[in-house]
């Protein structure tokens, strides 16, 4: 009824009027592209869910939906949401940039109290909104009711939340706003146009160890319907979209499709999802595609940290993915945060171009620093806005893309804008922000355009350098490099080992770790755990007697057995450390080859210079000297008993010979006397004498028995 509508309007005016009196005006901040956080606390946080339509017409109607959440510790009563707009058109790029960064109270604008443009959220059934709770809202109005000037432009539209906290009066508790492009009355939305390049980046944070096992199964979620990489792939398949594929991602997805294992065990779930994603990827138009350098390395961090050896390993990892060789290389490094040193490294791979967000120029396609052109892009294009937060939702990003491109088109901007798309939110916003004033061109079309001279300087700040996670002191890079060098030395006969190290080092160098040193440290720790298994006692072991007795200065030896518990052949060294090397030394043994799951026994030859026990520690090691497992103690007892024994044997022999000779001589004398007196002998005496002689000659004398 008409009187009921009048009462609603009157009540709304009564609520709004105190705020109109207490509000203050402020001037816009300096132009910038990024959204700055608003310092005003939003006690009733407004979150927009929809704005329909995204590009309203003068004759149409606009509707905002969302919810209001109480962020205070007290209930909110008399809560209302009112549609808000600013009636000043934004027509120039400077004004748009200022609006992106402006505080929530600037410009002041005005609330609407027409029917449908406000909604009361608390009533007798719900007298207040409790702390932490949220309530939905919907406000709507005809575009004509916004009372905007006939001038075409970008307008700010949004909502305010009014209410009471405790015993206080009605006040503004929350604000939010978005951009809304609106052509002038009678002006077609399709003219004029401005060109843009949508470049989709297909990459993800490293998920694999050097050996190829997956740290977790999170890549499955990214590849599945609605996941980040699934959404990006859909955007890449759109007409005129260009795309870059990270060889590290392609290699990982291909491995998943063929069957994979999880580092911590468990049942992987992503094989079918990976196969489907890979099939869809193969359908992309290769004419619009490029390949990145393996892992999207942070070239600035590599260059500044002096890790030139890492670049060789990155290149080796890149060459190990031959399926992508047909695509030209296009480099995106550090999210575009590069300087001349980084560009110098990237150019070693001969890319078709290098993307940069730090090149100091207003143009897009720039003359080369060295060999290849630089393509500048705005990294803040997808930050959404304007504030207050939350202002980076998909809805805010969509409306910003529409508004910014409208301003560029109406100002006759003919130089392409490159939109580097890396998230699912960005991808959905781009698909939803397809406007008639946008002319989509491919990245190859961009490269065929005019190159501009520029200062050839980069705005690479101290803050950028501080975000180089690769150069933090606790990332484990040095230790990991040493570990993989040890593994390569241990498994020198296995050609795949170098590839594992290349992948691991390339993943450590990835731009995905920029600004996230803790995440890099965790990843390197996981890689080291996997390597520790190879370099530990569970992979190779030593079997030797704990106590050995040897003859000093006699070239004595003892055996030692080395067992390989791995499924690949290995080559090891065996080192000894003597507690008293001046008394006993045990030479090291190298190039001990052990077959897979096999055992090799070697002969250890100590060198003793004195008698007595000496404690020796035996240590298995790789050929480059990295210890394998724990030391094995051996007690070596050196003695001269062998020489003394020979002396005793020789002396005993001499005594035996002399004794025998004397006995024979005695027997012969007795026989001679017997022959001189035969009659005095008994009949058997001569035989007895003969038998005694024979026994002596045979060594069986009575004295020897």
Say yes or no to pLDDT of 26 above 90. no
Residue range 279-296: average pLDDT? 97
Residue range 638-646: average pLDDT? 58
Residue 41 has a pLDDT of 79
Strand spans (E) along 429-511: 438-440
Return the DSSP state at 268.
-
Residue 477 has a pLDDT of 87
**CA distances (Å), origin 504, targets 222, 329, 507, 578:** 22, 21, 5, 38
Residue 452 has a pLDDT of 97
Retrieve residue 145's tokens.
Answer: 């009711």
For residue 402, give the H/E element and its range.
helix 394-410
Retrieve residue 701's tokens.
Answer: 């004398």
* Short-list 68, 505, 20, 572, CA closest to 248: 505
State the residue for tokens 């916003």: 429
Say yes or no to pLDDT of 8 above 60. no
Residues 117-161: tens digit of each pLDDT: 999 999 999 999 999 999 999 999 999 999 999 999 999 999 999
- The listed range with the strongest mean pLDDT (24-38, 77-91, 303-317) is 77-91
Residue 553 has a pLDDT of 65
Q: What percent of the chain has pLDDT over 90?
A: 72
**CA distances (Å), origin 570, targets 137, 535, 599, 621:** 69, 11, 11, 11
For residue 52, how many other CB atoms are within 10 A of its CB? 12
Retrieve residue 215's tokens.
Answer: 């740290």
Has this prediction a pTM greater than 0.85? no
Residues 446-494: tens digit of each pLDDT: 999 999 999 999 999 999 999 999 888 778 888 888 999 999 999 987 7
* Short-list 544, 540, 537, CA closest to 596: 540
Say yes or no to pLDDT of 20 above 50. no
Lowest mean pLDDT among 11-25, 373-387, 606-620, 641-655: 11-25
C-alpha span between 587 and 603 (Å, rounded): 11
pLDDT category at 78 given cuts 50, 70, 90 is very high
Residues 566-604: tens digit of each pLDDT: 999 999 999 999 999 999 999 999 999 999 999 999 999
**CA distances (Å), origin 170, targets 11, 46, 84, 557, 608:** 12, 17, 17, 97, 97
The four Cα atoms 256, 259, 261, 265 give a dihedral, to 10 degrees, of 120
CB 332 within 8 A of CB 292: yes
For residue 664, give the H/E element and its range.
helix 641-676
Residue 264 has a pLDDT of 83
Residue 36 has a pLDDT of 45
CATH of domain 540-639: 2.60.40.10
CB 186 within 8 A of CB 435: no
Say yes or no to pLDDT of 353 above 80. yes
Residues 247-258: tens digit of each pLDDT: 999 999 999 999
Residue 315's contacts (CB-CB under 8 Å, 6 or more residues apart) are 348, 349
CB 290 within 8 A of CB 324: no
Across-strand partners of 210? none
Say yes or no to pLDDT of 622 above 70. yes
CB 552 within 8 A of CB 639: yes
pLDDT category at 667 given cuts 50, 70, 90 is low
Calculate the average pLDDT of the chain: 87
pLDDT category at 360 given cuts 50, 70, 90 is very high
Residue 1 has a pLDDT of 40
- The listed range with the strongest mean pLDDT (77-81, 186-190, 565-569) is 77-81
Residue 533 has a pLDDT of 81
Q: What percent of the chain has pLDDT over 70?
A: 84
pLDDT category at 167 given cuts 50, 70, 90 is confident
Across-strand partners of 614? 636
Number of H helices and E strands in the chain, helices first, is 18, 28
Lowest mean pLDDT among 318-332, 355-369, 423-437, 667-681: 667-681
Return the DSSP state at 510.
B
pLDDT category at 40 given cuts 50, 70, 90 is low
Residues 529-562: tens digit of each pLDDT: 888 888 888 899 999 999 998 876 666 889 999 9
CB 176 within 8 A of CB 47: yes
The four Cα atoms 531, 533, 539, 544 give a dihedral, to 10 degrees, of 110
Structural domain boundaries in the chain? 2-182, 194-379+439-454, 477-535, 540-639, 643-704
Residues 196-210: tens digit of each pLDDT: 999 999 999 999 998
Residue range 640-658: average pLDDT? 52
List % helix, strand, coil for the chain (3-state, nearest 5): 35, 25, 40
- The listed range with the strongest mean pLDDT (31-35, 278-282, 581-585) is 278-282
Per the rule left: phi > 0, alpha: psi between -120 and 50, beta: everything else, 350 is left
CB 497 within 8 A of CB 487: yes
- Topology of the domain comprising 2-182: Immunoglobulin-like (2.60.40)
Say yes or no to pLDDT of 11 above 50. no
Across-strand partners of 549? 637
C-alpha span between 617 and 287 (Å, rounded): 64
Say yes or no to pLDDT of 422 above 60. yes
Fold match flag (2-182 vs 540-639):
yes
* Short-list 208, 213, 246, CA closest to 229: 246
């Amino acid at each position: 009824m008409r009187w009921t509508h009048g009462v609603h309007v009157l009540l709304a005016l009564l609520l709004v009027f105190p705020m109109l009196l207490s509000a203050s005006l402020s001037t816009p901040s300096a132009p910038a592209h990024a959204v700055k956080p608003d310092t005003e606390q939003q006690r009733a946080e407004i979150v927009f869910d929809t704005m329909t339509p995204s590009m309203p017409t003068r004759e149409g109607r606009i509707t905002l939906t969302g919810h209001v959440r109480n962020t205070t510790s007290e209930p909110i009563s008399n809560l209302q949401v009112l549609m808000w707009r600013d009636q000043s058109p934004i027509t120039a790029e400077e004004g748009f940039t200022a609006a992106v960064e402006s505080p929530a109270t600037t410009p002041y604008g005005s609330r609407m109290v027409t029917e449908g443009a406000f909604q009361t959220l608390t009533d007798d059934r719900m007298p207040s909104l409790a702390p932490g709770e949220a309530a939905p809202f919907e406000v709507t109005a005809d575009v004509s009711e916004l009372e905007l000037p006939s001038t075409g432009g970008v307008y700010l539209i949004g909502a305010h939340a009014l209410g009471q906290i405790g015993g206080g009066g009605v006040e503004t508790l929350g604000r939010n706003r978005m951009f809304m492009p609106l052509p002038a009355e009678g002006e077609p939305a399709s003219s004029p146009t401005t060109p843009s390049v949508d470049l989709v980046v297909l990459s993800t944070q490293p998920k694999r160890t050097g050996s190829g096992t997956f740290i977790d199964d999170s890549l499955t979620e990214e590849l599945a319907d609605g996941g980040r990489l699934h959404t990006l792939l859909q955007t890449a398949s759109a007409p005129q979209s260009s795309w870059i594929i990270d060889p590290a991602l392609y290699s990982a997805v291909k491995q998943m499709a063929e069957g994979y294992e999880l580092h911590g065990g468990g049942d992987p779930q992503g094989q079918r999802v990976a196969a489907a994603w890979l099939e869809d990827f193969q359908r992309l138009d290769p004419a619009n595609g490029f390949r990145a350098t393996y892992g999207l390395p942070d070239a600035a961090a590599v260059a500044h940290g002096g890790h030139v050896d890492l670049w060789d390993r990155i290149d080796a990892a890149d060459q190990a993915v031959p399926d992508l060789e047909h695509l030209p290389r296009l480099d995106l490094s550090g999210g575009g945060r590069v300087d001349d040193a980084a560009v110098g490294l990237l150019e070693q791979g001969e890319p078709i171009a290098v993307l940069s967000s730090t090149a100091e120029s207003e143009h897009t396609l720039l003359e080369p620093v060295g060999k290849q052109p630089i393509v500048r892009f705005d990294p803040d294009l997808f930050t959404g806005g304007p504030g207050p937060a939350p202002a980076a939702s998909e809805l805010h990003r969509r409306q910003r893309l529409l508004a910014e491109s409208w301003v560029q088109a109406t100002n006759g901007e003919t130089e392409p804008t490159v939109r580097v798309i890396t998230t699912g939110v960005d991808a959905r916003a781009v698909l939803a922000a397809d406007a008639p004033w946008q002319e989509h061109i491919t990245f190859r079309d961009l490269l065929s355009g005019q190159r501009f001279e520029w200062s050839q300087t980069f705005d690479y700040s101290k803050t950028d350098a501080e975000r180089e996670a690769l150069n933090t002191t606790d990332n484990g890079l040095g230790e990991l490099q040493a570990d993989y060098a040890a593994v390569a030395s241990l498994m020198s006969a296995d050609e795949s080992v170098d590839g594992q190290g290349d992948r691991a080092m390339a993943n450590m160098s990835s731009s995905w770790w920029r600004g996230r040193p803790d995440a890099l440290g965790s990843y390197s720790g996981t890689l080291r755990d996997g390597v520790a298994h190879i370099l530990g006692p569970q992979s190779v072991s030593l079997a030797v007697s704990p106590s050995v007795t040897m003859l000093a200065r006699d070239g004595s030896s003892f055996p030692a057995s080395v067992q390989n518990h791995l499924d690949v052949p290995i080559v090891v060294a065996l080192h000894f450390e003597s507690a008293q090397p001046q008394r006993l030394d045990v030479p090291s043994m190298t190039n001990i080859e052990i077959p897979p799951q096999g055992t090799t026994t070697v002969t250890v030859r100590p060198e003793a210079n004195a008698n007595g026990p000496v404690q020796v520690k035996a240590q298995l090691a790789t050929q480059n000297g990295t210890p394998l497992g724990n030391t094995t103690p051996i007690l070596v007892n050196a003695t001269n008993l062998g020489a003394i024994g020979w002396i005793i044997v020789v002396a005993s022999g001499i005594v035996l010979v002399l004794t025998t000779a004397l006995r024979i001589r005695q027997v012969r004398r007795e026989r001679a006397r017997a022959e001189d007196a035969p009659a005095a002998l008994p009949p058997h005496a001569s035989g007895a004498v003969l038998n005694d002689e024979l026994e002596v000659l045979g060594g069986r004398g009575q004295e020897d028995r």
